[in-house]
Amino acid sequence: MVKKFTKRWVALCLACMLAVGVFALPACGDKKLPDNSEHGVNITLVVLDLDGAKLYEKQALTYKPSLYETFNEFGELQVRVTTSFLGAWIQSVAVGEIIEDSNGFRDFSYFSENAKIEENFAESKYVAVYHDIDDVNLKDLYMPNLTYNGKEYYYSLVGVSLLPLLDGATYILKLAAY
């Protein structure tokens, strides 16, 4: 009698946890990105090397909702990303220019080999994303902040596909090591 009651109790608890999980998990990833399609937002994008030296800085008006979708608007950058169920993450950023040959083939030419930052797990390097959006849902509280030009920037908790673009915000892509 006790074993039947215990089995039913455990089964009921598991069913309840499953029901709560089915309804709660979709809400976790249901962050709405801003609709910038009508007015647009002014943002600043900065690229720093491992030592914190500036490789690139540009302000731009964009109508896109996320940082991932706006990379094409920065023509001097070539950004390579990888995607996962957590969103898009940056693998490399290169500063250079698009060159088109007589056949219409487009290629990317680096300004110099120093104008490229990329992850390299053998050397424990990765591309970190920082921003100045003071939202606890967007900043990683366990990672150190970055001070650049006297201002504090937060380590991003989310990938670039989930990082919203807000008017006046600055986004920094920096080569980091662990």
What pLDDT is recorded for position 3? Answer: 55
- The pLDDT score that the predictor gives to residue 146 is 95
CA distance 107 to 124: 29
Torsion of CA 30, 33, 34, 36, to 10 degrees: -140
97-143 pLDDT tens trace: 655 556 655 454 444 455 667 766 667 788 899 999 999 999 999 99
Query: What is the predicted pLDDT for the residue at 149?
Result: 94
Closest CA to 176 of 142, 134, 137, 130: 130
Contact 160, 131 (CB under 8 A): no
User: Is the pTM value of this prediction over 0.75?
Assistant: no
The answer as to CATH 2.170.130.30 being correct for domain 41-177 is yes
Give the pLDDT of residue 99: 56
pLDDT beneath 70: ranges in the chain: 1-34, 37, 86, 97-116, 119-122
Report the pLDDT value the prediction gives residue 170, as an integer from 0 to 100. 95
Q: What is the pLDDT of residue 11?
A: 52
